[in-house]
Every structure is written in C-alpha cells, then in structure tokens.
Amino acid sequence: MTAFFDILIGGVFHAAVLFLVAAGLQLVFGVQKIVNLACGSFYALGAYFGISSVNWAIAAGLPPVSFLPVLVASGVLLGVIGPFIEALLRTVYHRDEAFQLLLTFALVLMFQDVLRFFWGANPQQLGNLSMVYGKIAIGAVQVPTYNVLVILASVLIAVGIGAFLQRTRFGRILRATAENREMSEALGVNVRRIYASVFTLGTVLGTVGGALVVPTAAASLDIPVELVVEAFAVVVIGGLGSMRGALAGALIVGLMRAAAISFYAELEILAIYLVVIVVLIARPAGLFGKPVE
C-alpha cells in the first residue's frame, strides 16, 4: 500500500507540473487560436527569475521560510512581458497557422539566448530550500510538504480559472470572444484588449508555474523544449483549448508515466504516446475538445 501511495503521489506531482505548463497553452489557444510554443519558455523564465528573486530576498534578510510568496510574486511580476509579446503575435493572427508556429518557435529560441545571457549556461538550483517546510509522513509514506503545496497550487489555479471563466463577467466575455470573435466585436467587445489580457494571463500561468516548481527541480536551458513536448501530449489527450482537458490530460500523463516507471521503466515515454495515439484514433479532438466542423 505504501508503494501504491508513493507512486500515486509521484504521478500527481508530475501532473501538477504539466498542468501548470499546459494551462497557459490551453487558455491562449482557447481564446486566440494560437498554438503558443513559447509557453515552455515562460515556465523556464519563471524558474530562473524565481531563483534570483529568492536569492535576493534571502540576501536582503527575509527568512528562508518566506520563499513561497516571493516565488509567486516573482512569477506574477513577469506577467509584464505578456502584452509586449502579444503585440508581436498580432502580426500573425490572420496568417496561416504555420506562420504562428514559426513565430512562437522563434520566441523559444530567442528566450533560450535571453536566459543564457542573464543566467549563464549552467543549470540553477535553490539547494534544499524546498525542505524548509518539512515533510508530511503518514506511515511509511513520506512526501515533502512543499510538493503537496505545488499540487494544491495547481488545483487552486485550475479551480480559480474555471470559476473565473464561468462565473465572472470578464470570463463570459472571454468565452464569447473564443466562440465568435466577429460577433463579440460587433457587440462592442474590445478584442485587442481581451487578447492582450488573455495572453498576459497565459504568460503568468507559465511564469508562476516555473517559479513554483523550481525549488523541487532545477532551471535549465533545456526546459522549454522538454516541457513543451510533454505539454503537447497533455493537450492532445485533453483536447486543445480546454482547461478541463488540460487537467485531465495532465493527470493521465502524470499517472501513466509514474505507473510505467514503477512497473516497466523502459516504457516511460512509450506509455504516454500510446495513450496519445489511442485518443487521436478514438477521439481526434481530445477528451474535452470540440470537434472541428
């Protein structure tokens, strides 16, 4: 039973990490219909900037235990880059999807050099800071409290975005714009402002995600490409543009990976893409995606 819970926690933690990357991707695609490959770069930027922010905070005399709010604040602060990048993307809104993909991939490469310029080539870590909150032990099952906080943060973000989209006026406008941009514009919605806001929110999801996860991992220049590949498996399974899909897809990928690692480690990657293939055959639009008409 201990082994079961250890594997389950491992899977859910990985799902939480993937959700934080995929959520921004889904939100932006859902409203703006742009596949933003740079979502992994925002995550990496959040991770690097989070490390620097925590180091500055500790050097300034803040106790190590305060690192969690510092990380969240640093991720939110990075949202300022969102409107600028969205302004760049405006040039390809009406062009072929291939142009959009090329532009966002160019952003991935440019961000890699930006990260290298500011933080150097070496992976950065926060030492053992994630352990300052201790561990939760139930019998032989032990899990760092911080990992539980990351899982909770993902759940909160999922619930928060769901409530925001369903229950708020702005959320309804967003959904209406996603459904029919021309009609929304005709009804007086400032679509340009909506797009800038959505993209900024998507950026913040990525940067906060990266900042939150980095104490348990490391920030490296390889993150953007590594994560975006797995995030795509998540969105293909869940359905492109669906937040519920992102949550379900992340859970499926996280748990499949954990089970494969435990029972037959060689299948770690294969198991995930087998699910992707099955979903693509059985439900091409994904579990929660809308079929293209």
Partner 1 sequence: MNQNRRKILKALGGAGAIAAAEPYLSFPAIAQSRTLKIGIIAPKAGIVGTIGECGLRGTLFAVDRINAAGGIAGRKIELVVEEETNPKDSIERLRKLVLQDKVDCVQGIVSSGVSLAMGAVAEEMKALTIFWDGTTQDGVKETMFNPRYIFRSTDNECEAVMASLLAIKYWKGKFVTIAGINPDYSYGRNNFAAFQALLKKFGVEVKVVADQWPKVGTLDLTSHVAALKAAKPDLIFSSLLFADLPIFMKTAHGAGLMEGGTKFVFPAAGFQHTGLKKEFTPEGMIFGHNTLYFDYKDGSALQKEFVQDYVAKYKDYPHWEADRAYFAMLVYQAGVEAAQKAKNAWPSQEDIINAMEGIKVQSLGGPGHMRKDHIAEQTFYQGLTTHKNKYDFPTLGTLDIMYSEQLQKPPGMDFWKWIETAQIKL
Residues that bind partner 1 (CB under 8 A): 2-3, 6-7, 9-11, 13-14, 17, 116, 120-123, 125, 127-128, 130-131, 135, 137, 140, 142-144, 147, 216-218, 220-223, 226, 257-258, 261-262, 265-266, 268-269
Query: Minimum CB separation from partner 1 for residue 220, in Å?
Result: 6
The answer to whether residues 135 and 143 touch, using CB atoms and an 8 Å cutoff, is yes
Residue 35 vs 208, nearer CB to partner 1: 208
Query: Minimum CB separation from partner 1 for residue 203, in Å?
Result: 21
- Dmax (CA) for the chain in angstroms is 61
Query: Minimum CB separation from partner 1 for residue 246, in Å?
Result: 17
CA angle 109, 286, 225 (to 5 degrees): 15
DSSP for 18-30, please give it: HHHHHHHHHHHHH
Residue 121 vs 292, nearer CB to partner 1: 121
Residue 6 vs 185, nearer CB to partner 1: 6
Query: Minimum CB separation from partner 1 for residue 56, in Å?
Result: 17
Query: Minimum CB separation from partner 1 for residue 5, in Å?
Result: 9
Structure letter (DSSP) for residue 184: H
Q: Which contiguous run of DSSP H or E holds residue 144? A: strand 141-144
Query: Minimum CB separation from partner 1 for residue 252, in Å?
Result: 14
> What is the residue type of 21?
V
Tell me the two tokens of residue 138: 């139930």
Residue 69 vs 120, nearer CB to partner 1: 120
The answer to whether residues 32 and 177 touch, using CB atoms and an 8 Å cutoff, is no
Give the C-alpha separation, 42 to 84, whole Å: 13
Residue 7 vs 81, nearer CB to partner 1: 7
Query: Minimum CB separation from partner 1 for residue 264, in Å?
Result: 10
Residue 10 vs 289, nearer CB to partner 1: 10
Crossing angle for the helix pair 97-119 and 39-59, nearest 10 degrees? 20
CA angle 166, 167, 171 (to 5 degrees): 60
Residue 4 vs 84, nearer CB to partner 1: 4
Give the C-alpha separation, 266 to 28, whole Å: 34
Residue 119 vs 199, nearer CB to partner 1: 119
Phi, psi torsion values for 139, nearest 5 degrees: 65, -130
> What is the residue type of 206?
G
Phi, psi torsion values for 121, nearest 5 degrees: -85, -20
Query: Minimum CB separation from partner 1 for residue 157, in Å?
Result: 18
